Amino acid sequence: MGLLKDDIKRTYKVSSITLGFLTHPYKTVQEVVASHVPFTICCIPLGIFVLGAFLFLFCSHVLFALIPLTGMWWFLCWWITSFFVSWQILIWYLCLRFVLVARSSH
């Protein structure tokens, strides 16, 4: 029972950090760096993008058959890709910035 409780706490923490990265990236990355959470958590946007890309590839034949608007799908893929790349670059930049500031202040 204790393991389940720990898993729920860990899942809640990762979910709240992920939502924080989306809504308040500056504040969330600052808290992540200050609380010494592993920096791999800053790769969450990349993980979400890879998972979404695999799901899209898996479902693309069905989606293209249901909605055969090729231009719309290309625009949607381009927009989502540019959003996730920009989001990931922002998170990495903030993480690097706060780590360097934390090291220089010690």
In a domain, 2, yes or no: no
In a domain, 67, yes or no: yes
In a domain, 98, yes or no: yes
Whether pTM exceeds 0.85: no
Give the chain's end-to-end CA distance (angstroms, integer): 41
Instruction: Report the alpha-carbon distance of residue 104 to residue 79 in Å, rounded.
Output: 37
- Contact at 8 Å (CB) between 54 and 12? no
In a domain, 34, yes or no: no
In a domain, 23, yes or no: no
**96 is in which domain, residue-wise?**
44-106
In a domain, 30, yes or no: no
Q: List pLDDT tens digits, range 17-31.
A: 889 999 999 999 999
| Percentage of the residues of the chain whose pLDDT score is greater than 90 | 34
For the chain, what is the domain count? 1
